[in-house]
Amino acid sequence: MNKIIENLKQHLAIIMALLVCAIWGETFVSSKILLEDGLMPSDIFFYRFVLGYVCIWAFSYKRLWADNWQDELLLLVLGIMGGSLYFLTENMALMFSTASNVAILVGSTPLITAVLLALFYKDERMCTRQMVGSLLAFGGMALVILNGQLMLHLNPKGDILALCASLTWACYSLIIKKLSRHYNTLFITRKIFVYGILTVLPYLWIECPLQTDLAVLSKPAVWVNLLYLGVVASMLCFVAWNWTLKQLGTVRATNIIYLQSFFTMFFSYVILDERITLMAICGTATLIMGMYLAGKSAS
């Protein structure tokens, strides 16, 4: 009976991970709409995290602090790595490098995560088949992102920032593995939101004042997309993803992130009328094959 329940949890976690990747893949489209309506990347991050925090407070309000100051410090680091620093480095990278470069470098997160986990957790090390599958998935993801573009242009400053974004999310995955053994998912996610908000305030104060123009914020396209990003893509997806990491293991769950590029391509085609090339279709097939190999070896 316990084995049946565990198998059901595994399958549910895979479904949830796919849904999260689909939603996170679409967030690039929603963010693009908000940028076109006058919001800055830092505005989008701040409002979506505030909305996520307000929503999750209704379900997780009894516990305020971790068991000790060391764990509370790790929660602060999570808020930085999975919140303010990740989003700022990713969006700043787009200012200096091409979208394709940034997407591919940020998409290397599963590989960087696997390396870090191999260093710190023996039970999460990849076997040969799993590594081959992950590399195939990475190659397929790159083809999907390139979508017919045959050349990448190196932009050291932007590319380094994109790698920093990838590294911060990998560190996030590493730390949350430790904390999820002692704290429930709702509590961890709530702390990520509040520390993400607090640590982005200096940037908003010094570099990029928050957009507070009601004429902009009251546009239907703006508040609808902000609600979607805050409630669905932040609150619900962070809770679901953190639970998924706990159920599937960090390597197996993080490999599913490769599919995010496919969902971004799909929603860009449906909503923004962007083209899909033969290269992207071949990339999707390679991506799925790689994920199958990685998942099979982990089972």
- The domain ranges of the chain are 2-298
pLDDT in the model for residue 284? 83
Token output for 212: 């507070």
Q: Is the dihedral of CA 77, 83, 86, 92 positive or negative?
A: negative
CA atoms within 13 A on the CB side of 116: 20
Token pair in block for residue 254 = 């993080």
The sign of the torsion formed by the CA atoms of 25, 26, 27, 31 equals positive
CA-to-CA distance for 247 and 86, rounded, in angstroms? 24
Model pLDDT, residue 299: 45
Task: Confirm if 153 and 98 have CB atoms less than 8 A apart.
Answer: yes
**Whole-angstrom distance, CA of residue 133 vs CA of residue 114:** 12
Cβ neighbors of 91 (< 8 A, separation 6 or more) are 41, 42, 45
- At 108, is the secondary structure helix, strand, or coil? coil
H helix intervals, 228-277: 237-248, 250-255, 260-272
Question: Which residues neighbour 231 within 8 Å (Cβ) at sequence distance 6 or greater?
Answer: 51, 52, 55
Q: Where are the alpha helices (H) located in 58-184, listed in sequence order? A: 69-79, 85-96, 99-106, 109-120, 128-146, 156-179
Q: Look at residues 125, 96, 112 and name the one whose alpha carbon lies nearest to residue 166.
A: 112
Backbone angles phi, psi at 183, to 5 degrees: -130, 150
**CB of 155 closer than 8 Å to CB of 101:** yes
The confidence score (pLDDT) of residue 220 equals 92
Q: What pLDDT score does 298 carry?
A: 47
* Residue (of 168, 169, 216, 235) closest to 43 by Cα position: 216
The reported pLDDT for the residue numbered 188 is: 93
pLDDT in tens, the chain (299 residues): 677 777 788 889 889 999 998 898 888 788 888 888 888 888 989 999 999 999 998 888 788 899 999 999 999 999 999 999 998 888 788 777 766 667 777 778 888 887 787 777 776 677 777 788 888 888 888 777 776 665 556 677 878 888 898 899 989 988 998 898 889 999 999 999 999 999 999 999 888 888 888 888 999 999 999 999 999 999 999 999 999 988 888 878 888 888 877 887 788 778 777 777 888 788 888 888 887 777 664 44
**Angle, alpha carbons 146-90-250 (nearest 5°):** 85
Helix (H) or strand (E) holding 200: helix 185-206
Res 154: pLDDT: 62
Cβ–Cβ under 8 Å, residues 197 and 128 = no
- pTM (2 decimals)? 0.83
The one-letter code for the residue type at 257 is I
